[in-house]
A and B are shown apart, each in its own frame.
Chain A
């Protein structure tokens, strides 16, 4: 699938803009800081997910002074043309239509537009706390094994009920609390074990791909480790029983999928604490490219790859390696620096500060 055109009006700092990305290759969006490069990716992201990639509320994406922003994309899925149109209201109801049919939930967007996003914030997956890495795994699972989201949702709900029960118990294990805890633990054992097994299977699939992508970026074979570490051993049911006295005192559940860690290592050293910023950025990028590859295999065609500000903190060698080895399919990337001469982009757009978008003629001249 690919994005054939994107037109926006009254979105962020743009009055009107249209881009026609290269269907099969790389499209580069250049411009100075604050010009609105990321906003163009945000528009694509909104049409694919019905939310802002930056976590902004809908009204914040409407140009100041305007009543509504209109986003429109035409995508090609196989030989079918799909028309996605979203209207964001500065106040009141926003709506989205796919082929003129109103869409209410993200799931109903279906396959009209699928994306993989790499943004500068992705470095948190490597540098941040374990919660960032668990979220990374669960988001990847939602794409490559959608059924497992049921286990993730159920685990989260049970943990909330269990926490409420522990708090209400006030550190005392009355027979009533004990009997109901047994029930929540049995349910958590089922949902939590299924979730963790899915995460472990995904980790195993990702590990060799992440190593491949990282080694290619680094220009040498690097030992990249992805290891899923459970916060317990044996069965989850037994572990919950063993930790119950502590859980009661602390008022929280101390073992389970919500306490697990995805350990990342580079040549045996912790990716979180023993690596440089550039290595961390490469690692985050390698993880994203690995999930992109799995998603492509699972969906049968590559999602649109959106790379926001991808060259910052990568040295010229890694930049070149990234560009030369971009996966097959459509990718759109933004950069404040002039794109390196190696960029095999047939299509380049320059975003001017006033919200104007100009198509630049490719230097390679084959566009």
Chain B
């Protein structure tokens, strides 16, 4: 199908299948790789192989891990009484960057979405329930996305967990720090007003 033949075209085709990379970018990256030192290209190839061979899901929280438990579950300085429930391992990175949370995580691997065939059985809900019994967890923070599917998932989990006598919290929606009120969209500002709190003075 392409103008080039053999390995050149197949690399362009493979790169073009990646998310966010169109045919032109695929071609540019391919020609870049053609020019770089052989060891640089080899390192990239080996990294890809290593990721596929060595990275697994954490047996406890379903974060990405290198066999067995993930780095966070292995860290014995973490607070084991609170668990933060997220949709995707990338969300852990986002929460970790805040430095505000010292507990462990639980990755659902998605959100409720009947159109895509995702119900509670397709999510790691049963595994979460099992952990609650075993690990002495006191608080569950529901940190799913603030969109329709994420909110529905949070509501589903809240209904499931509340009767178990746990503290169940949902992250707040609000305004970006350092921003201007006049640029906030109405929905976000409305939510921020709803979730207002008494100021310390």
Contact = CB atoms under 8 A, between A and B. Distances in A.
Contacts of A182: 159
Contacts of B187: 150
A191 B36 CA distance: 55
B152 A162 contact: no
B88 interface: no
Nearest to B185: A150
Contacts of A160: 115
Given A164-B114, A183-B155, A176 B119 contact: yes
B115 A164 contact: yes
B148 interface: yes
B129 interface: no
A186 B158 CA distance: 13
Given A150-B187, A154-B148, A180 B115 contact: no
Contact of B119 (A147, A157, A180, A187): A180
A165 B186 CA distance: 31
B13 interface: no
A186 B151 CA distance: 11
A180 B112 contact: yes
Nearest to A158: B148
Contacts of B186: 147
B171 to A, nearest CB: 18
Contact of A179 (B113, B120, B151): B120
A115 B117 CA distance: 42
A142 to B, nearest CB: 14
Contact of A176 (B113, B115, B120, B155): B120
A150 B191 CA distance: 13
Nearest to B153: A183
Contacts of B113: 161
Interface in A158-175: 158, 160-162, 164-165, 168
A183 B148 contact: no
Contact of A187 (B115, B117, B120, B151): B151
Contact of B112 (A168, A183, A186): A183
Chain A interface helix/strand/loop/mixed: helix
Contacts of A161: 112-115, 148-149, 152
Contacts of A186: 155
Interface residues of B, number: 18
Contacts of B156: 179-180, 183
B114 A187 contact: no
A168 B113 CA distance: 12
A187 B113 CA distance: 14
Given A180-B156, A183-B156, A186-B155, A168 B117 contact: yes
Contacts of A165: 114, 119
Contacts of B121: 176
B160 interface: yes
Contacts of A162: 114
Given A147-B186, A150-B187, A187-B155, A180 B148 contact: no
Nearest to B125: A176
A181 B148 CA distance: 14
A168 B112 CA distance: 13
Contacts of B149: 161
Nearest to B117: A168
B152 A183 contact: yes
A220 B187 CA distance: 45
Contacts of A157: 148
Contacts of A187: 148, 151-152, 155
Nearest to A184: B152
A180 B156 CA distance: 7
Interface string B167-190: 000000000000000000011000
A182 B156 CA distance: 8
A156 to B, nearest CB: 10
B50 to A, nearest CB: 38
Given A157-B148, A158-B148, A179 B115 contact: no
Contacts of A150: 187
A64 B156 CA distance: 55
Contacts of A176: 119-121
Given A160-B115, A168-B114, A179 B160 contact: yes
Max chain A Cβ within 10 angstroms of own Cβ: one of B114, B148, B187: B114
A186 B152 CA distance: 9
Nearest to A167: B114
Interface in B102-122: 112-115, 117, 119-121
A180 B148 CA distance: 13
Interface of B: 112-115, 117, 119-121, 148-149, 151-152, 155-156, 159-160, 186-187
10 contacts: A150-B187, A161-B113, A161-B149, A168-B114, A168-B117, A179-B160, A180-B156, A183-B155, A184-B152, A187-B148
Given A168-B117, A182-B159, A186-B155, 20 more contacts: A157-B148, A161-B112, A161-B113, A161-B152, A162-B114, A164-B114, A165-B114, A165-B119, A168-B119, A176-B120, A179-B156, A179-B159, A180-B112, A180-B114, A180-B152, A183-B112, A183-B156, A187-B151, A187-B152, A187-B155
Q: Which 5 A-B pairs have the closest CB atoms?
A: A165-B114, A164-B114, A164-B115, A183-B156, A183-B155
